[in-house]
Amino acid sequence: MTESMDTEQAEPTSGSAFLEERIRTLLQQMTLEEKIGQMAQVPSGGGHLPHHLREAIQRGQVGSVINEVDVATVNELQRTAVEESRLGIPLLVGRDVIHGFATVFPIPLGQAASWNPRLVELGARIAAHEAASRGVNWTFAPMIDISRDPRWGRIAESLGEDPFLTGSLGSAMVRGFQGEDLSAPGSIAACAKHFAGYGASESGKDYNTTNIPEGELRNVYLPPFQAAVDAGVASIMTSFSDLNGVPATANTLILQQILRDEWGFDGLVVSDWDSIHQLAVHGFTAGDRDSAFEAATAGVDMEMASQTYAHHLASLVHDGRMTIEHIDTMVSNILRTKFRLGLFDTPYTDPSLLPDIAAPEHLAAARHAAVESLVLLKNDVRVLPLSAESLCAVAIIGPLADDQQEQLGTWIFDGDARHSVTALQAIRDLVGDRVTVHHARGIDTTRSHDRGGFDEAVRAAEQSDVVVMFLGEEAILSGEAHCRADIGLPGNQEALIDALAATGKPLVLVLMTGRPLALERVVPKVHAVVCAWHPGSLGGPAIADVLFGVESPSGKLPVTFPRVTGQIPIYYSHKHGGKPGTPETFVHIDDIQARAPQLSVGNTSFHFDVHYSPLYPFGHGLSYTTFEYDSVRVDPPELAVSGTITVSAEVTNTGDRDGTEVAQLYVRDLVGNVTRPVKELKGFQRVFLAAYERRTVSFTLTPEDLSFFGRANTRIVEPGRFHVWIGGSSDTQTRAEFDLTD
Ligand code: NOJ
């Protein structure tokens, strides 16, 4: 083993003091080149160890390898590092395991629709086990960028628009990946990304500039990252984007002042792929040498893919621009992560210690996650659930009904479509010979402009009692760099709906999508809409169970659905403004008289040509039963700055079916040192209610929960009046109020 192992005889023998001592001891033995070597993350050979990589590892020039999932190759990489490099420092082996490994869970945005941290944690745990069995010890997840622009393809990877929900679910993912003991078999290091503000890319175009005032950065974009740090996340990845003129990869405010000094993060910060080299492309530096200097001094410890550190850090130290102390801090952050992972003690992977890839219990968990991710957006004439007993025939239409690959969604490098069960297959299995299933694709892909399959689809509809259409977006239309300027249904899908609507049959739309779609024109043409996102390996059975009432839907939107693309950005937690649009002041373009005088249309905040409300608000989601809220109350009636307050309401299942409701707590701070949002989510609970059951739901609030960053960009708690709501969606009206007192 390595000389560093000598420290095992030192006292103390565990805990952070011991860890820091081991790091110091190792650092003392390292040359500057070996230190800089630890900062390099390089691509793997993909299933073999190329000669140049072996040599680089032997020379101590590699700290991490990215994208190797062949366990024999990973073990050979580790053996080379541990046995053939001078100091025997093991490697971090990184991989994007975003929503499952071989077993694919719903896309993160879909998982977020479950509003179920335990389910999200389990999904990450299973993904960690499968990835770890291939030698991966570091994943680049959770992605916790607040995403309020559905044009941005990466919204699919996100947990939605809200800081509180994203923080809760992102922390759950961290716990799932890392387990209680990061060094245990099956635990892998998580990486909260992309730090920070990436979701605010202008016009929803990936990699674009972001301009986020510091107050908004702190109040909206950073809280999920702080929650991840509090949950013990091992690493952070910087964003590709320019943040207020200083690209995130070189942004000292966020990387040093906030992350390290204010939050006390002592883990590893990695760049995004080539993002240090790209500092010059941004026009922030004149070339790689300056880029290396800016990123390193801002606090990026490891460089992914590009090699500016390898080429320039040593000379920057020799020239006196960078200190060896700074280099040591960077290396310590990397070594600390390797020690925490237990890699010095157990560098090799023994897959027999872990469950099989795609084990039955993994697939069962993916199915359950898919069920909870489904959001029933509309069910006007209670066309759902379908009854296998009373239907004679059902038409299953659309390019996404029977595609094992597309249902997996974006970012599934290791997803194995052979484990996928499609909706068509699952519906056939579920109804057996009780119901005839007519299947027609209707249209080749979601983007096709042809009508060649319309006639067959219409014939299938005419022979059926009900039509279920699987439409939306294929996986390739969302994810990194897959952005859209118009988020309606692509291709000829709307025309297909029109053709099917002309049959007069009840229409159910199952939306498979990586983002909210703008469906104002489409929704009135159909009777029911189920948002299934990209539901993963077992999405098919989950959809079948919900369509046929084996399960009642319980998902709630983690993101607003706009009516039309032009409404973006539209999100529930917006500011009130001085002249808000209201039902009384709204004027539709068709109602404006010819030659109307300028001041005749109200002068409040709305678009003339679309209603000012969204199509579906954040938090919306129906069930096969109905829930009602009443009696929102607070106890005690005032919240003292050192106290707590309990907010309660009665929730009743008013239907004759059991169901699960997500009760949501929102507050509004009426007057602020800076203007405050009209509503902010502060709590949620999944509540199971039997038919006609009535139950109290309660939440506790503290002044800390009501604090925010004010004009001086410091956290403040301001006395004053608050409104508080408990309900089943962000548009809830069931409200109480209280004062926060000195
Ligand atoms: C670029 C992406 O932005 C990031 O999310 C991902 O983890 C890295 N590439 C590695 O694949």
Q: Report d(CA 428, CA 430) in Å as an integer.
A: 5
pLDDT given at position 5: 39
Percent of the chain with pLDDT strictly greater than 70: 98
Q: Is 272 a catalytic residue?
A: yes
| pLDDT tens-digit map of 18-28 | 999 999 999 99
pLDDT in tens, 453-489: 999 999 999 999 999 999 999 999 999 999 999 999 9
Predicted confidence at residue 601, as pLDDT, reads 83
DSSP classification of residue 622: B
- Calculate how far, in angstroms, residue 300's C-alpha sits from the geometric centre of ligand 1: 15
Q: Which of 96, 149, 272, 669 is catalytic?
A: 272
Closest residue (by CA) to atom 3 of ligand 1?
Answer: 272
Burial label, 590 (beta-carbon count in 10 A; 0-12, 13-18, 19+): exposed
Structure tokens belonging to residue 695: 């139950």
Binning pLDDT at 50, 70 and 90, where does residue 11 land? low
CA of 272 to the centre of ligand 1 (A): 6
Structure-token pair, residue 622: 């129906």
Whether residue 646 is predicted with pLDDT greater than 90 in this model: the reply is yes
User: How large is the average pLDDT for residues 261-277?
Assistant: 98
**pLDDT value for 584:** 87
Residue 481's pLDDT is what?
97
Give the C-alpha separation, 560 to 346, whole Å: 46
Atom of ligand 1 nearest to the CA of 194: 5
pLDDT at 381 over 90: no
Question: Cα–Cα distance between 407 and 107 in angstroms, integer?
Answer: 10
pLDDT of 328 higher than 80: yes
Q: Hey, what are 356's tokens?
A: 């099989």
| Gap from CA of 274 to ligand 1 centroid (Å) | 10
Q: Ligand 1: which atom is nearest the Cα of residue 67?
A: 11
Residue 182 is given by DSSP the state T
What value does the mean pLDDT of the chain take?
Answer: 96
Give me the pLDDT at residue 9, please: 46
Distance between CA 267 and CA 278 in Å, rounded? 24
Q: Which of 191, 304, 412 to mutate to test the pocket of ligand 1 (most atoms within 8 A of CB)?
A: 304
Q: Give the separation between CA 196 and CA 173, rounded to whole angstroms.
A: 18
Q: What are phi and psi of 350, to 5 degrees?
A: -115, 95
Give 238 Cα–ligand 1 centroid separation in angstroms.
10
Give the DSSP per-residue string, 103-116: SBPPPHHHHHTTT-
Q: Whose CA is nearest to atom 1 of ligand 1?
A: 273
- C-alpha torsion sign, points 56, 61, 63, 64: negative
Calculate how far, in angstroms, residue 195's C-alpha sits from the geometric centre of ligand 1.
12
CA of 401 to the centre of ligand 1 (A): 30
Would you place residue 14 in the very low, low, confident or very high pLDDT band (cuts 50, 70, 90)?
confident
Q: Whose CA is nearest to atom 9 of ligand 1?
A: 273
Ligand 1 atom with the shortest distance to the CA of 193: 5
Q: Exposed, middle or buried by CB within 10 Å (0-12, 13-18, 19+), for 626?
A: middle
Ligand 1 pocket (Cβ < 6 Å) reads 96, 140, 193, 272-273, 480
Instruction: Say whether pTM exceeds 0.95.
Output: yes
pLDDT of residue 12: 64
Tell me if 616 sits within 8 A of 561, measured CB to CB: yes
Report which ligand 1 atom has the smallest distance to the Cα of 240. Answer: 3
| Sequence-ordered strand ranges (E) for 338-463 | 375-379, 393-397, 436-440
Question: Given pLDDT bands bounded at 50, 70 and 90, which one contains residue 576?
Answer: very high
The residue nearest atom 7 of ligand 1, judged by CA position, is: 140
The pLDDT of 95-107, averaged and rounded, is 98
Residues 416 and 393: their CA atoms lie apart, in Å, by 32
Best residue for ligand 1 mutational test, from 68, 237, 238, 277 (most atoms within 8 Å of Cβ):
237
Instruction: List the residue whose alpha carbon is closest to atom 4 of ligand 1.
Output: 272
pLDDT of residue 113: 99
Is pLDDT larger for residue 1 or for residue 36?
A: 36
Are 617 and 557 in contact, with CB atoms under 8 Å apart? yes
